[in-house]
Structure 1
């Protein structure tokens, strides 16, 4: 039970340090952030907690076999040398997911086939030609992750199964909704933890609102999941997982306003349904309102955080994209003075139309689109006067702007 082992949490570019902080808070050890991943160590309870509690993890992997291979034959031979009875039996099914960053192995599908052949042949050699575990693309009993960097090969067990961004609360969606892990990561990166008002003025299906309410109430994102892959493992400790699942001692009351608005009545109806399914509808206020129609009377406090994902003009557009982003800038400047706004966008010209200087820029992918998250500190008057009066454009201990690779 208390044996520790290495694990790897996968995430999106730009969220690695946020995930590392989450894991640190859970008590993980040996935390090392890398590219779209964070390595750490812990015991079985930590593996369960990482899956259940981490808002910015896409999946949690448990490496079990590492080797080097320079070509396909060596890859096959070394994969076949592993004792596959440790994790598989002929009555089980398995799937393989491959990620390769390698000149030697440039086609991930070919790698998948060679590893699959090695596993199947290992069982055939020992139990007979027709005695082998089955291959299943979906809902396999054992999910093997293959990661290749150059000639370094790591085989891992996927403990999550379906990606952890699929929380389970979404019952409907607008077109191109933001990924739940990305939404939670942006909120956490903003520094918001449920201690000031939160507004998404273009909320769509309400993903930012759902994730903000879960953060404010400190409700674990895994509470809605029906299944994790580790529940099918031979060493699954049901009592231990039940203890984690049923522990709500850290949950808290939401004491600040969380407000969402959108120009579309349909979007507001969808957001309301998702919030209700997530059990946080009572914490969030919704209304139909275009970004240009906000007034100072509708702003709940002198300071707070705005997080939003406006249309990019790709899958979702507006009749006047230039006018939309100009309205965003005008509303921020004239209505939300004293607030911090975090906007994820795709096109530089759209950001320019906002007409405000960003205090921070962070490269992020939203789906396949290479986007940027920008922070705007909204202050009254000119920048020089704001700074002279003690105002700050960056938080204490902020690092420098993260630029695109």
Structure 2
């Protein structure tokens, strides 16, 4: 049976997420602002949660209704027969996004949803579900648009960017989903060497390694929200996981390398790569930028240097960007380099002509992914 789903995604990555969903087998894929609508069966729901490298979560919309104030919100929620989704013995949590003129406080809106469900349960059973924000049996998502609200079930739970391999993070880490999206925007194919000369806690190399070895990023998670649903098909879920394991490769098609000058960063990267089961595949080495040499005669460089706003002053970082550009030009002929830039003034210090500039958002910060062909 085909169902309607909605994948949430970071701003600017909607088209990329739509392409990924299509490749996973989704039908009627339609990108919207910070999301993608699509259709599929129950198996696809499980596969998207397990395999998506870019989206945050998968919602299952159950009702859209007029909602301009708290009374309409309460009445709309009560129109749903919650017996289909939740028993009074089970717990729930409500998350709210969006707002309008009357409903402009997410906590209050979420409380209205909870009250409407609880009142219906008391009328039917004489008891109601309790709220559990840590490990609920059912997660309900309320999204308020100007005149309407959409109620959905959250099939994912913790955001998919929390892969589960990364307890150790650098000072300004990229979300795993964002790192994967950036890799997808480059010329990198899994048979090309990949080098991150400022790897920090290792997110770019690890995400590349998972993709190159065809390891599902969701395989590190202990549980998904859909596993607590009344219609959860354990046999189908085990089949999806088995099929994923059977696709995994035992060796990388090409080398993946991480370099950083800071021991503490590389120690974090080593913890993360071991948790991801990639410690025998990815090469992390402590190295000053001045010592950087190409590990092969061609490949892709990708890096996320500090922007100045977060990790230091622009003046202090100018020499770093200049050195980066000089090393690219002098030592990496035949390579293509990508630099994530959040500061135009610093980017100018690289001193190389860009062949492509891709606008992206790192959270709420407007950035540019810069492409350099090195001849």
What's the TM-score bracket when you normalise by the shorter of the two chains?
over 0.9
Deviation at residue 111 of structure 1 after TM alignment: 1.4
Mean Cα deviation higher: 255-264 or 352-361:
352-361
User: How far 1:228 moved relative to its partner?
Assistant: 0.4
Partner of 1:332: 328
Q: CA–CA distance in 2 between the matches of 1:282 and 1:20?
A: 33
Structure 2 residue aligned with 1:69: 67
Instruction: Tell me how many residue pairs correspond in the alignment.
Output: 372
* In the alignment, structure 1 residue 145 sits paired with structure 2 residue 141: yes
**Counterpart in 2 of 1:284?**
282
The alpha carbon displacement at 1:101 in A equals 4.6
Asked if the contact 1:144–1:157 (Cα under 8 Å) also holds between the matched residues in 2, the reply is yes
Measure how far apart 1:220 and its partner are. Answer: 0.5
How many angstroms apart in 1 are the aligned matches of 2:12 and 2:94? 27
Q: Which residue of 2 aligns with 1:256?
A: 254
Aligned equivalents of 1:273, 1:286: Cα separation in 2:
11
Alignment of 1:78-227 (within 5 A): 78-128=76-126, 131-227=127-223
In structure 1, stretches of 5+ residues that fail to align are 381-405
Whole-angstrom distance in 2 between the partners of 1:243 and 1:351: 48
Deviation of 1:221 after TM superposition, in Å, equals 0.4
Deviation per CA, 1:214-265, whole angstroms, max 9, x where unpaired?
0111111011110000000111111111111122232233121111100101
- Separation of aligned partners in 2, 1:112 and 1:360: 44
SS of 1:134's equivalent in the other structure is: coil
User: 1:104 Cα shift?
Assistant: 4.3
Q: Distance in 2 between matches of 1:5 and 1:216?
A: 31
Distance 1:161 1:39 in 2: 18
Q: C-alpha distance in 2, partners of 1:367/1:255? A: 32
Counterpart for residue 312 of structure 1: 307
1:246 and 2:242 are equivalent in the alignment: yes
- Please provide the CA RMSD for this pair: 1.7
Partner of 1:364: 360
Q: Please identify runs of 4+ aligned residues in structure 1 that moved more than 4 A.
A: none
C-alpha distance after superposition, 1:288-345 (max 9, x if no partner):
1122322xxx313333211111112344337821111111222222222232222222
> Tell me, what secondary structure is at the counterpart of 1:299?
coil
Aligned counterparts of 1:4 and 1:69: Cα–Cα separation in 2: 27
Deviation of 1:58 (Å): 0.7
Partner-residue secondary structure (3-state), 2:246 = coil
Q: Relative to structure 2, which stretch is displaced further, 255-264 or 106-115?
A: 106-115
Decide whether the 8 Å contact of 1:336 with 1:378 is kept in 2. no
Contact 1:358–1:374 under 8 Å retained in 2: no
- For the 8 Å contact 2:77–2:116, the answer to whether it is kept is yes
Distance in 1 of aligned mates of 2:173 and 2:263: 16
Please list the CA deviations of residues 103-132 of structure 1 after superposition, one character each: whole Å capped at 9, or x if unmatched. Answer: 44332222112212211111122223xx11
